[in-house]
Amino acid sequence: MWFTLDNLATAHDTHEGAAHSSTGLSNVKLGMWLFLGTECLLFGGLISTYMLYRGRVGTGPRPSQVFDIPFTSVSSFVLLMSSLTMVLAVSAAHKRDDRSTNLWLVITALLGTTFVGGQVYEFTAFYNEGMGFSTSLFSSSFFVLTGFHGVHVTVGIIMLLALRGMLKNNKVPGSRSETVEMIGLYWHFVDIVWIIIFTLIYLIPA
């Protein structure tokens, strides 16, 4: 890594003052990618906990008894498509097309809300089938993992809507397109975590 960075630093030397950073890269973007790197260790820990405990159901239902694969497949698909709409929002923001940016941001937030709504429905259904938070090690670790993911999606929705409001009122400090891009990175990360959860937790039986 340092070799890449040093080459950049040398390039920077030759035209001093052209860029404000040693690498020519944006602070926020470096910080965001690093943050996403650290989030891997957070979700990794939660997924490992689930993997360890998925078979320990006690007297409660087994995973295969409660999971509704067709339903979750649809909500997974919805989240996946929200990544497409998000990337279109970022693309529009780079082209300074405010109308499209706003539109795609709202659609992304709506798709995200659909996903979270589906999760609320799923949790309620599980609860009604006798799988509460503290029923078994399986249920606790399942709810903690998917709950954390759901909170991440919810935070993402709030950011998307707040961003839309700020864009509309011209209140975004700093670069508009970069702000959209950063929230986009976060949103995609939440999506890739779900790609893993969908396979490891739902599709592969305990």
Partner 1 sequence: MAIIERPVSLEVQPLIVVAPATPSSAMGAVKRPVVTKGWRQWVFTVDHKKLGLMYMATAMFFFLVGGIEAVLIRLQLALPDGKILNADLYNQMFTMHATTMVFLFVMPMAAGFANYFIPLQIGARDVAFPRINAFGFWALLFGGLFINLSWFLGGAADGGWFMYAPNSGPIFSPSHGVDFWTFGLQIAGIASLTGAINLIVTVLNMRAPGMKLMRMPIFTWMILVVQFLLAFAVPVITVALFLLSFQRNFGATFFDVAAGADPLLWQHLFWIFGHPEVYILILPSFGIISEVLPVFSRKPLFGYPFVVFSGAAIGFVGWGVWAHHMFASGLGPVSVAVFSISTMAIAVPTGVKIVNWTLTLWGGKLWFTTAMKFSIGLIVLFTIGGLSGVTHAVAPSDTQQTDTYYIVAHFHYVLFGGAVLGLFSGFYYWWPKMFGKMLNEKLGTWNFWFMVVGMNLTFGPMHILGLQGQPRRMYQWTENRAGEGFFNLGFWNLIASIGSLVLVVGVFLFLVNIYITARNGKVAPLDPWGARSLEWMTSNPPKEHNFDSIPTVHHLDEFFHRKYAEDANGQMQQVATAEQVLKQLEDNADAHIHMPSPSYWPIILAFGLPVTCLGLIYSIPLAIFGGLIILMGTFGWALEPSTAPDSDFDPPSSGDTSKDVVHVG
Partner 2 sequence: MNTTSATDSHATEHGLSTIGYVRIALILAAITGLEVSTYYVDFGRLFLPALLIMMVIKFVMVVSYFMHLKFDNKVFSWLFYTGLFLAVGVYCAALATFKFFG
* CB of 51 closer than 8 Å to CB of 204: no
Give dist(CA 97, CA 142) in Å, integer. 41
Q: Nearest CA to 181 among 25, 19, 18, 6?
A: 25
Q: Which three-class secondary structure state does DSSP give residue 197?
A: helix
Q: Is residue 124 within the footprint of partner 2 (CB under 8 A)?
A: no
- Residues in region 144-163 near partner 1 by CB under 8 A: 144, 148, 162
Segment near partner 2 (CB under 8 A); pick from 85-93, 128-136, 141-149, 157-165: 85-93
Indicate which single residue of 6, 11, 48, 162 sits in contact with partner 2 (rule: CB under 8 A). Answer: 48
Nearer to partner 2, 133 or 140 (CB): 140
Segment near partner 1 (CB under 8 A); pick from 26-34, 91-99, 117-125, 185-193: 26-34
Q: Is residue 114 within the footprint of partner 2 (CB under 8 A)?
A: no
Q: Is residue 2 within the footprint of partner 1 (CB under 8 A)?
A: yes
Q: What is the number of helices (H) and of strands (E) in the chain?
A: 7, 0
Give dist(CA 47, CA 124) in Å, integer. 22
Give dist(CA 26, CA 22) in Å, integer. 10
* CB of 121 closer than 8 Å to CB of 105: no
Give dist(CA 59, CA 31) in Å, integer. 45
- Residues in region 33-92 near partner 1 by CB under 8 A: 34-35, 37-39, 41-42, 45-46, 49, 52-53, 56, 58
Burial of 146 per CB tally in 10 Å (0-12, 13-18, 19+): buried
In the chain, the amino acid numbered 53 is Y
Residue 204 sits at φ, ψ, to 5 deg, of -90, 115
The contact set with partner 2 (CB under 8 A) reads: 1, 4-5, 8, 19-21, 23-30, 33-34, 36-41, 43-45, 47-48, 51-52, 69-70, 73, 76-77, 80-81, 83-84, 86-88, 90-91, 94-95, 174-175, 177-178, 181, 184-185, 188-189, 191-192, 195-196, 198-200, 203-204
The contact set with partner 1 (CB under 8 A) reads: 2, 5-6, 9-10, 12-13, 16-17, 20-23, 25-28, 30-31, 34-35, 37-39, 41-42, 45-46, 49, 52-53, 56, 58, 133-134, 136-137, 140-141, 144, 148, 162, 166, 171, 173-174
